[in-house]
Every structure is written in structure tokens, then in C-alpha cells.
Amino acid sequence: MKNLLKPWQSSRPPPTPPPGDEATQRAQHRQDVFEDIERGHSGWFWATDAAGCLSYISPAACERFGLAAEDIIGEPFTSLFETDPENPGERSDRPLQFLLGAHSRLCDVTVRLVPDRCKPGTRPAWWALSGQPKFELTKPGSAKLEVGGAFHGYRGSARDITLEYERRIEDSRLAEFDSLTGLSNRHRISRRFDQMLAAFKGTMRPATLMMLDLDRFKQVNDTLGHPAGDELLRQVAQRLTRVVGTAGEIGRLGGDEFQILLADLEDRGKLGELADKIIGLISQPYQIDDNHVVIGVSIGMAIAPFDGTEREEIVRAADLALYAAKHGGRGQFRFYSSDLKDEKEERRLLEEALRDAVASVDGSDDSWDEPQLSLVYQPVVRTDDHAVVGFEALMRWEHPQRGTVPPTVFIPVAEDTGMILQLGAWALRQAARDAALWPHPLRIAVNVSAVQFAHPDFPGIVREVLDATGLEPERLELELTESVFMGDSETTDAAFKALKLLGVRLALDDFGTGYSSLSYLRAAPFDKLKVDRSFVESCTLSDQNSAKIIAAIIGLADALGMETTVEGVEAFDQRDVVCAKGARFIQGFLYSPPLEQAVLLQRMAAGELYIPPDGPKRHRPERRSVYRRIGVIHEDHRYEALLRNLSATGARIEGLVGVPVGTSLVLDLGAGQLAVVTVSRSEDATIGVEFETPLVSDGAGGLVTRYRASPYALAAAARTVSTSAPQFLEVEVRKRA
């Protein structure tokens, strides 16, 4: 009390000698002291009556709240004050109402005036509220409060702790949130996921974990510095928040790793769409200081309870899916499936095998092994007269045991390990050497990975190759993708200048799939745009915008004085569409697959420089050949059969005889994937079926059902035994050669 009095005692006149008798003087003095404390604004007093209504409050408190005493006296104390609903006080997590109702002693309970009661514009304040219940006095006249008698209300005080409290909240925010991005941190997101899983278990609600890892973030950090890296992470966080909105909780685990928790979402179609949206948005260019920065993101997803019920299981599953997505070519999403477990080991073996393959072609291997890598050449054809105007060199890897490994699998491995530098230089040299042998001076296009392009030696290597092979520079076309624009723009500009000085042509490959920023086209000296195959694939579907996009890209290239080649035309109906949209050059299976150099030389020698289109009239969405045992459920009987081909809308199944057209079946595609189908064709032991709900992409070229039966439902179904006799004949089908 002494301390409290000091600061304002001096500002008041010295106490006048108290009049009257000593007791009155003392009472008067006490009154003065209380009034001084109340006026000092460092604390206030309050009291309630036996019914819990406010019976006294210091005038200074009313002033602070911007209220008049009459406004609040007589109101229930708990309708005026509350504990923080989001941050329960440290000392007691019981709400004020409970404490008062129980007539408990209050000791520094953190409260505020109920926001509805605050006068608009008053600064929010927090108070440490203390108070004692007052019971019937045992001795009349005694000030002592004793427990046991009738309750008479509370008497108490309060002290302003706003600053201290705000600091405490800020500290706990720091402990829960990532200070760079404001997203939840690892600690919080893990806790939230635990809570979610625990709450959902009983009700069997699904919860999805998305794990995200930025592609090429490290390069940005290394080339532009950490502040730029930080700014990039902040912008990524903003974009994630924009796509995810209130649908999920986003966390940053540290570095360039993010997680998203999504409650009640198990539809893999919707999840795939969301992942695609995230990938699309994160891959748009960023403006950081004066630099254009481009990164990508890979996403792995696992869904409880299908892929596990504990947090650790789901995290491990999503991690494996992320790993597969990163190594499957990046900028992809993947769902967890049990066959991903071996992917890490498989990847290590693939790297080793690729090392051997590279050694088999670049001269560092002195063994007599056959070269495993080769180049094939796909013609580019002029649409008005079917004349071949050039070829694109495409790499092929034939592994003695693995067979053909597609470039979409091994090129990313080569990029990650740096082997692409050797591999790319070899391809350039080999393609130039082969082209120099052609009897006609047709163009040769070679793919150049962004990693190769970013290497300062690259223009030098190109010059060396031209010198060594004697290939005219204007015959060589380098195919770059938009990822060359990531990172340091000075190096990129220098490389473009050096290559243009050499006189080689530059093409922008896969246009429309990446960031497609028009500013790149303005800044870089491209001679050609290659329209990506994905637009052609859907250009004949009426509900797609692909045909319009193709027209727009061709129009844009025309306006900028660039050529265009449309890739991946497989059928006449696609050719008709792209030609109507202005395509003058096409590269696709309708004209020719990639050919070996020997075949090419033969044809050129025979004067075959025109290729008429040849292929299917209509493009049919790809049906994948498969060979997989599945379950076929009809009424309460389960049959074993063979899945032979599969598209998003239908499948061919072998092994069942006598199934009438129109029969409704359930296919058990494994791992809880049950699909309702109708038989549309039935011949001998083969049936064709249509899916009631189309399958969706698994992110890696495979197809999966949107939904899965939960492990709980499967366990229950396994307990019910079929009783009726089978209606169809099950026959053994052997794999055909």
C-alpha cells in the first residue's frame, strides 16, 4: 500500500489534521486513501451483491470504460466481464461465471469488459481481477470475512495488465506460429492434426494431410540471397492462404516445407483439383526486388483413416507420396499408395543405373558394353504439303534388365544429380553429328534442360559442337522450357546473347503448361513456340477451352514474328482442329513416331521427304493396358477376374462368363477402392463396363477412384459371409504373350 501511495501523495496537499474523534478521523483517513487509489487509475474496486449483480465499481473504472456508473450498477457481474474465450488465463482455465458461481476466491483472474458493453473506440483493456466472497459476519462490527455464513456478494479489486497480457499473447503466438509467414508452425500444426484425428476417430470422419515442398527454392536462396528467399516464402504463404481459404489449416514446417490439413475431404478428384490449383498458383512468377523468380511445388497427400489412423502413419505416408511426386518429374501431386514404400530404394538403384548408362556413351567407360542411350528423331511436318522441315532429337534409354526407361523418368533424375550436364552435352554432340550426315540440310532440334542452360559453359559447348561437326548454326534449334527463366536473370540474358551471336535458333518448348509469362517472350529472342501436347489432347472436346488456347498461342506467336509447332497430334480430328486454328507445323504420331538415324538416312536417300498423315479418324482418350487381378462383386457374391484395360470412364474385364449387358456390378480395385459399374458389353469371358463415377488421376498418370471404403467398413464387410450360389461362371484367364 505504501508504494501505491507514494507517487501521487506528493501532488496532493499535506493531510490536514483530522477533525472529530480518533475513530472518525481514522475512518475519514481510510476513505481518503481509497479514493486516492481509485483516482490513481492503477486499480479499482468492485463489489457484488448476493445475487451476483454489480453493487459498486470505482468511478475511475467507469471512466476508463467510457460508461456511467448507472449504466452498469445492478447488472449481473458476469454479463459485464469475461475471461478471454480464446486464451484462458494461465492461473485458471475456468470461466469467470464458474468461479463466481462457486463462490471461489478470485486471484488475478484475467478479464475484460464484454466487448458488446464497451463504448465504441475505447482501447481494449485487460484486468487482473481479485476478490473474496463475503459471508455473514460472525461478530457484528468486525471487518473480518469468514466462510460459513450466508453469502453476501464479492468485494474485490482489479489492476490493469493490458501491456503484460498482450505481451503474453504475443509470446504464445510466437510459440505457435511461424514468424516469417504467420502460418502455423510445426508444433501447432502437429497438435492440430492430433486433435483432429482424435476427434474424427469415433465418427469415422476423413482428414487429409497435404505435404508441400517447393522446387528450386534453394537456387533462389543461393543466387538471390536469404532476404529474397524469405520474401519468396512470404509470398508463397500468401498464395497458399488465397487458394486454401478456410477449407484447411496451413503450416510451415521450416525451410521450404509446408503442410495443409483438410478436414472432411476424402474425394481424390477434389483433392487432385485443389493440388493442381496450388501447383498452378505457386508456379506463377514472383516479383522479388527487380527479379522475376519462378519456382514450382510438389505435393504428397495421405488421407486418414484410409492410409493410417495415427498422425505418424499419415505423415510418413504423405512424405512417401511427396518423395514420389518430387522424383516423378516435379510440379506434380501424388496420393499415397502402398507400392510407394519401395520408391526410395528404387530411386537409388535408378540413379546408379543411369550413371552406368551415361558412362556407356560419354567415353568414360572403357568396357565393351553396348551403349544404353541413343537418340531418335521425330519429324516436324508442314501442314499444307506434308513436307518434313526438321526433326526433334529425343533421348532413349534401353537398360539391359529394366527395358525402356522413358525420358520423363530419367531426365529429372539426371537433373537432380547433375548428370544432365554430361548427358545433355552428349545429346547435343550426337544430334549435331547425325544431322551433319543427312543429305538434306533439315533442321535438328535438341532439348536443353534448364540446369544445362544455367551453366556458364553452355554457349561454349554449343560453339564447340558446331565447330567439331561443321553443322550450320541456323540448322540447330535449341528447345528450352520456361524454367530457364528462374533465378539469376543476368546469367540468362548473357546466355541468350551468346547463343544468338552463334546464330543458332531458339524454341520455347511445352508452351502453355508452365508460367507462360508474356514478359519472357518480350525479353528472350525465341524463333519458335511449341504448343504443348496437353492442349491438343483435349482440343476436340467441346467443353474445353484448349482449342481456343491453341488459336491464341498461334496468334500471339504470329504477332511476335515467331513460328509455332503443335505437338502431339495423333488423330485426324485433332489435325483438323489445330489446322483450323492456324497451325502450320505439326509434330505428332499422326505423321510419324520418332525414328532411328538409320531409318532416317534410308528414307532421305530414297527421297522420301514428305509424310502423309496416317492414323485414327478420331482421338480416343487413352485406355491403358493393364493386367491386374481384381474382385468383382455381384449381389452378395465375389468373383476373381482380370482387369485388362482401364480408362477414366470404363474398363475391360476378363474371366467371367454369362454376365448380361446392363448388370450392375461393384469392382474391387484394391485398397478400399470400390467402383460401381454397369456392363455395356459381354462376349465369352470378356465384359466391358462403364463406371458410374469416372475415375480420377492419381497425379502420376494412373487412375484411382474418387472415394475409398473406409477400413472400418471393409472390416465389417469381411465379417459377412456370402450365402447364395454364384450366378456367373468364373474362368481362368492366362496372360497372353
Instruction: Please report, as ranges, the residues that interact with ligand C2E according to CB under 6 A.
Output: 378, 394-395, 406-408, 411, 424, 427, 447, 449, 479, 509-510, 533, 567-570, 587-589, 594
CB of 585 to ligand C2E, least distance (A): 13
Q: Which three cell numbers stand for residue 23?
A: 475513530
24 binds, among ligand C2E, Mg ion, none (CB under 5 to 8 A by kind): none
Q: Percent helix, strand and coil across the chain, each rounded to 5?
A: 40, 25, 35
Reference 722, options 650, 635, 597; nearest CA is 635
Q: What are phi and psi of 274, to 5 degrees?
A: -65, -45
CB of 587 to Mg ion, least distance (A): 8
Residue 361 or 656 having the CB closest to ligand C2E: 361
CB of 446 to Mg ion, least distance (A): 9
382 binds, among ligand C2E, Mg ion, none (CB under 5 to 8 A by kind): none
Alpha helices in 449-596 (DSSP H): 450-453, 458-469, 489-502, 518-523, 533-537, 546-559, 572-580
CB of 376 to Mg ion, least distance (A): 12
| Rounded alpha-carbon distances, angstroms, from residue 641 to 371, 645, 659, 728, 731 | 41, 12, 13, 12, 8
Residue 187 or 603 having the CB closest to ligand C2E: 603
Q: Which three cell numbers stand for residue 698?
A: 492419381
CB of 702 to ligand C2E, least distance (A): 16
CB of 395 to Mg ion, least distance (A): 10
CB of 445 to ligand C2E, least distance (A): 8
Residue 7 or 616 having the CB closest to ligand C2E: 616
424 binds, among Mg ion, ligand C2E, none (CB under 5 to 8 A by kind): ligand C2E
Query: Which amino acid is located at 212 in the chain?
Result: L
| Rounded alpha-carbon distances, angstroms, from residue 401 to 340, 348, 412 | 21, 16, 21
Between CA 337 and CA 707 the distance in angstroms is: 14
Footprint of Mg ion on this chain (CB under 5 A)? 447, 479, 509-510
CB of 392 to ligand C2E, least distance (A): 6
CB of 594 to ligand C2E, least distance (A): 5
Residues facing 591 on adjacent strands? none
Residue 314 or 394 having the CB closest to ligand C2E: 394
Helices and strands counted in the chain (H then E):
24, 32
Reference 456, options 486, 495, 423; nearest CA is 495
308 binds, among Mg ion, ligand C2E, none (CB under 5 to 8 A by kind): none
| Rounded alpha-carbon distances, angstroms, from residue 640 to 23, 344, 605, 612, 726 | 102, 32, 55, 46, 12
Residue 231 or 509 having the CB closest to Mg ion: 509
Residue 435 or 677 having the CB closest to ligand C2E: 435
| β-sheet with 43-48: strand ranges across | 54-57, 43-48, 151-160, 127-135, 106-113, 81-83
Between CA 699 and CA 329 the distance in angstroms is: 11
Beta-carbon contacts of 653 under 8 Å, excluding residues fewer than 6 positions away, are 630, 632, 641, 642, 643, 644, 667, 686, 687, 688, 689
Residue 508 or 630 having the CB closest to Mg ion: 508
* Residue that is written with C-alpha cell 533442321 in the block: 443
CA 573, 575, 576, 582 dihedral sign is positive
514 binds, among Mg ion, ligand C2E, none (CB under 5 to 8 A by kind): none
271 binds, among ligand C2E, Mg ion, none (CB under 5 to 8 A by kind): none
Burial class (CB in 10 A: 0-12, 13-18, 19+), 598: exposed
262 binds, among ligand C2E, Mg ion, none (CB under 5 to 8 A by kind): none
Between CA 426 and CA 414 the distance in angstroms is: 13
* Residue that is written with C-alpha cell 488423330 in the block: 571
Residue 320 or 583 having the CB closest to ligand C2E: 583
Residue 57 or 569 having the CB closest to ligand C2E: 569
Query: Which amino acid is located at 556 in the chain?
Result: L
Residue 587 or 682 having the CB closest to Mg ion: 587
CB of 718 to ligand C2E, least distance (A): 41
**Contact call for residues 160 and 43 (beta carbons, < 8 A):** yes
Burial class (CB in 10 A: 0-12, 13-18, 19+), 623: middle
* Residue that is written with C-alpha cell 530414297 in the block: 606
**Contact call for residues 642 and 659 (beta carbons, < 8 A):** no
407 binds, among Mg ion, ligand C2E, none (CB under 5 to 8 A by kind): ligand C2E
395 binds, among ligand C2E, Mg ion, none (CB under 5 to 8 A by kind): ligand C2E
CB of 432 to ligand C2E, least distance (A): 12
Residue 223 or 449 having the CB closest to ligand C2E: 449
Residue 569 or 696 having the CB closest to ligand C2E: 569
CB of 574 to ligand C2E, least distance (A): 9
**Contact call for residues 333 and 299 (beta carbons, < 8 A):** yes
Reference 232, options 219, 251, 245, 247; nearest CA is 219
641 binds, among ligand C2E, Mg ion, none (CB under 5 to 8 A by kind): none
Residue 307 or 570 having the CB closest to ligand C2E: 570
**Contact call for residues 724 and 714 (beta carbons, < 8 A):** no
CB of 434 to ligand C2E, least distance (A): 13
**Contact call for residues 66 and 125 (beta carbons, < 8 A):** no
Q: Strands, E, within 256-387: which ranges?
A: 257-263, 286-288, 291-293, 296-304, 333-335, 373-382
Residue 395 or 521 having the CB closest to ligand C2E: 395
Residue 394 or 465 having the CB closest to Mg ion: 394
220 binds, among ligand C2E, Mg ion, none (CB under 5 to 8 A by kind): none
272 binds, among ligand C2E, Mg ion, none (CB under 5 to 8 A by kind): none
378 binds, among Mg ion, ligand C2E, none (CB under 5 to 8 A by kind): ligand C2E
427 binds, among ligand C2E, Mg ion, none (CB under 5 to 8 A by kind): ligand C2E
CB of 459 to ligand C2E, least distance (A): 17
Burial class (CB in 10 A: 0-12, 13-18, 19+), 582: middle
568 binds, among Mg ion, ligand C2E, none (CB under 5 to 8 A by kind): ligand C2E
CB of 294 to ligand C2E, least distance (A): 17
